[in-house]
Structure 1
Amino acid sequence: MQEADYLIIGHGLAGATLAYTLRRRGRRVLVLDQYQPDSATRVAAGLINPVAGKRFALAWRIQDFLPAARAFYKELEAELGRPLYHEKPILKLFGSVREQNDVLARSAGNPWGDYVADPAQPLPEVPGLEQPFGGLELRHGGWLDTAAMLDGLAEDGRQNGWLRAETFKPELLVADAGGASYGPGLRVRRVVFCEGHAATANPWFGWLPLTPNQGEVLDVEAPDLPTDYVLNRGAYVVPVGEGRVRVGATYRWPPFSPEPTAEARAELSQRLHELTRTPFRVTGQRAGIRPAVRDRKPLLGTHPAHPALAVFNGLGSKGVLLAPRLAELLADALETGAELWPEVNIIRYQALYPVTLPPAATPA
């Protein structure tokens, strides 16, 4: 019988960062994952934005997350021997006089620290860019080539035997006081579910309040757009090299479309038209389903009745920023019993757990 310390279900952003973190600690890890070309991680532009949202506030715990993300992705770049993390300033362009006034009024107290350049300084003049209301330059942002990261790790996983290209079958999993068995040939100390939006059907963690939403992005040829900045006004525009940019993203609540939609293509094209006078050509369109959570905080922790089972999910649209630090946090909790942050611990949703059901190690 094969033995491992951890069985990880899913190799998207959550599963990949957790598996790497645990393997870096010397743990024996096995990952089960069935490749999906339009998974949320592969569709995402991988944007790291330190200041975002309608309130234009600093991202949650940015001082914890950003240094951890930068160090993690740079280490991974060196190990995989390929560029992954691209640090670029973000030009946040105002869409109206009202937005301009609201944000500049808030700037008096310098609420953003070093993450925003001096608001009194004008933005750089960028040929072809529409910026009638001005904007701000955000520092320490950038983007991660998520597909390249997953491809590099998956190649290593196949070569070294820690990644299996197979679909997880819940009926084969049996949890007990000492760990868990999967089928007749595998025994592990813990199982961690990193399934993204598919966790809504998970027999052990389906009670958690995941609220998936669908996002679409465009791949665009725009050789005249600037390559030194990520652009943001109503949509993000991420330069990905060779005169190409990625434009996104839309938000759609269920029911989801099985294919990319004409409506999303028109919406994102219009947003790009409003941003630039330079010509561009849409070359591709993709849709993925994000694993979001009701309170917009991720889901980490062990099962209330089966401590050998754990979950790492709900990273949402800021997953690239959050995943490395949260993977360390969960690894510490699983390895040493360290406390999880209350904002992410699934115990905050304990009231939703169906305690009326008879305790069972396997789904009915």
Structure 2
Amino acid sequence: MTTYDYLIIGHGIAGATLAHELRRRGRTVLVLDTYQTDSASNVAAGLMNPVAGKRFALAWRADDFLTAAATFYRELEQRFGQQFFFETPILKLFSSVAEQNTLLARSADHPWQNFVEELAPSLPPAPGVRQDFGGVRIRRGGYLAVRELLVALAAEGLEQGWLRRETFDWNQLVVGPASASYAGDVHARRVVCCEGAAAVHNPYFDWLPLTPNQGEVIDVECSGLADTQVLNKGAYVLPLGAARFRVGATYRWPPFAEGTTEEARAELSQRLASMTDQPFVVLAQRAGVRPAVRDRKPLLGVHPATPVMSILNGFGSKGVMLAPLLAGHFADVLEGHAELWPEVNILRYHALYVAARKEGGFSS
């Protein structure tokens, strides 16, 4: 039996960043993961946007998260000699005069000023971009090549032996008061659950309000569209190079169909057409399932009754921006060097745990 400090379940963006952070600190880690082409991390375009949504709200702790993410991904780029992080301006296009007027009126005293490069009813023309009502140029945003980064980390993990490609079987996990064993050959001081939307089947954390949410993206070829920025207007358009772009993403709550749908393809094509006057061809379409949380804050913490078990999950559509800082923070918490931020602490849902325990709905 091999002993590890941490057994991590899942190697999406959450599990991968935590494993890297713990190994950087000299801890022994084993990650168990089943590669899934439709996982949220593999489908995600990796957009990092400090100001988003219909209300144009500043993201929670945007400066802290963006700074930590840029540093983390730049270090990995140097390590692997490959670019993963693309810091690119985001052009938020107004969809109506009403939206234009609302944001212009709010701009004088709104806290997102440090992230806004330009906000105007008309902007300099960009090839192929429809700018009927003007827009906002957002700085410090960009995107991460998530799949390429995870492939690089996984290749290293498989070669060095800290990553195994296998399906985790809860029936083979034996949890004690101070450690856990798995499949008869693994012993770990802690188990960290980072399995994304699959956490709804986790017997220790299935009381948390995590709901799978399906998103679809399309890759298109559009030779006449400028590729110097990310476009955003009800959907994002990310430049991939060679006149290719990724458009996404849809949001569907259960029940939803498995795989891609014609409905999502039509919706994304229509949204792209509202942002460009150039013809385009759809090259590919993919669907994935995100782990969404009721209050839109991630789920971090130690199980209330079984301290060997912990969770890092619930990043929704903001995983690439949130994961580096939260992985470092959670590593500090697990090592006893910090108190968990209350905004992400699973104890905010302790009442749900108590209710589930009374119903006998889970194993611990």
How far apart, in 2, do the equivalents of 1:223 and 1:84 lie?
23
Confirm or deny: 8 A CA contact 2:303 2:310 kept in the other structure.
yes
SS in 2 for 1:119: strand
- Call closer, same or farther: CA 1:51–1:359 in 2, change over 3 Å: closer
Q: 2:46 is matched with which residue?
A: 46
1:356 aligns to 2:358 (yes or no): yes
How far apart, in 1, do the equivalents of 2:93 and 2:152 lie?
35
Confirm or deny: 8 A CA contact 2:47 2:142 kept in the other structure.
yes
Q: 1:97 is matched with which residue?
A: 97
The runs of at least 4 consecutive aligned structure 1 residues that moved more than 2 Å come to 118-124, 354-360
Q: Cα offset for 1:357?
A: 6.3
- Call closer, same or farther: CA 1:358–1:211 in 2, change over 3 Å: closer
- Call closer, same or farther: CA 1:43–1:358 in 2, change over 3 Å: closer
How far apart, in 2, do the equivalents of 1:130 and 1:179 lie?
58
- Call closer, same or farther: CA 1:40–1:14 in 2, change over 3 Å: same
- Call closer, same or farther: CA 1:206–1:221 in 2, change over 3 Å: same
Confirm or deny: 8 A CA contact 2:120 2:136 kept in the other structure.
no
Q: Cα offset for 1:259?
A: 1.7
How far apart, in 1, do the equivalents of 2:114 and 2:361 lie?
51
Amino acid at match of 2:312: F
Could you list the per-position Cα deviations for residues 114-133 of structure 1 after superposition, in whole angstroms to 9, with x for gaps in the alignment? 20014258422112211110
Q: 1:290 is matched with which residue?
A: 290
Instruction: Map 1:50-69; keep pairs closer than 5 Å.
Output: 50-69=50-69
Q: 2:82 is matched with which residue?
A: 82
Q: Cα offset for 1:269?
A: 0.4
Confirm or deny: 8 A CA contact 2:128 2:226 kept in the other structure.
no
Amino acid at match of 1:83: Q
SS in 2 for 1:356: helix
Q: Cα offset for 1:212?
A: 1.5
How far apart, in 2, do the equivalents of 1:358 and 1:221 lie?
53
1:147 aligns to 2:147 (yes or no): yes
Instruction: Map 1:219-234; keep pairs closer than 5 Å.
Output: 219-234=219-234
Amino acid at match of 1:245: F
How far apart, in 2, do the equivalents of 1:73 and 1:158 lie?
20
Q: 1:327 is matched with which residue?
A: 327
- Call closer, same or farther: CA 1:129–1:189 in 2, change over 3 Å: same
Q: 1:130 is matched with which residue?
A: 130
Confirm or deny: 8 A CA contact 1:50 1:62 kept in the other structure.
yes
Confirm or deny: 8 A CA contact 1:212 1:253 kept in the other structure.
yes
- Extract unaligned runs of 5+ from structure 2: none
Instruction: Map 1:246-285; keep pairs closer than 5 Å.
Output: 246-285=246-285
Q: 1:8 is matched with which residue?
A: 8
Q: Cα offset for 1:225?
A: 1.2
Q: Cα offset for 1:283?
A: 0.4
Confirm or deny: 8 A CA contact 2:120 2:135 kept in the other structure.
no
SS in 2 for 1:226: coil
Q: Cα offset for 1:111?
A: 2.6
Amino acid at match of 1:59: A
How far apart, in 1, do the equivalents of 2:360 and 2:123 lie?
62
Amino acid at match of 1:127: P
How far apart, in 2, do the equivalents of 1:8 and 1:96 lie?
47
How far apart, in 2, do the equivalents of 1:208 and 1:130 lie?
43
Alignment TM-score, normalising by the size of structure 2: 0.97
Confirm or deny: 8 A CA contact 1:123 1:137 kept in the other structure.
no
How far apart, in 1, do the equivalents of 2:158 and 2:228 lie?
36
Q: Cα offset for 1:352?
A: 0.7
Across the aligned residues of Structure 1 and Structure 2, the Cα RMSD in angstroms comes to 1.5
How far apart, in 2, do the equivalents of 1:253 and 1:204 lie?
23
How far apart, in 1, do the equivalents of 2:52 and 2:95 lie?
14
Amino acid at match of 1:180: A
Confirm or deny: 8 A CA contact 1:305 1:359 kept in the other structure.
no
Q: Count residues with an aligned counterpart.
A: 362
Q: Cα offset for 1:53?
A: 1.2
Q: 1:119 is matched with which residue?
A: 119
Q: Cα offset for 1:113?
A: 2.6
Instruction: Map 1:300-311; keep pairs closer than 5 Å.
Output: 300-311=300-311
How far apart, in 1, do the equivalents of 2:2 and 2:118 lie?
58
How far apart, in 2, do the equivalents of 1:124 and 1:86 lie?
22
Confirm or deny: 8 A CA contact 2:48 2:318 kept in the other structure.
yes
How far apart, in 2, do the equivalents of 1:89 and 1:229 lie?
5
SS in 1 for 2:191: strand
How far apart, in 2, do the equivalents of 1:262 and 1:256 lie?
13
Confirm or deny: 8 A CA contact 1:100 1:133 kept in the other structure.
yes
Confirm or deny: 8 A CA contact 1:8 1:191 kept in the other structure.
yes
- Call closer, same or farther: CA 1:120–1:130 in 2, change over 3 Å: closer
SS in 2 for 1:224: coil
Q: 2:171 is matched with which residue?
A: 171
Q: Cα offset for 1:337?
A: 5.0
How far apart, in 2, do the equivalents of 1:322 and 1:359 lie?
31
Amino acid at match of 2:83: P
- Call closer, same or farther: CA 1:3–1:98 in 2, change over 3 Å: same
Confirm or deny: 8 A CA contact 1:8 1:32 kept in the other structure.
yes
SS in 2 for 1:297: coil
Alignment TM-score, normalising by the size of structure 1: 0.97
How far apart, in 1, do the equivalents of 2:114 and 2:52 lie?
15
Could you list the per-position Cα deviations for residues 293-324 of structure 1 after superposition, in whole angstroms to 9, with x for gaps in the alignment? 00100000000111010000000011111000
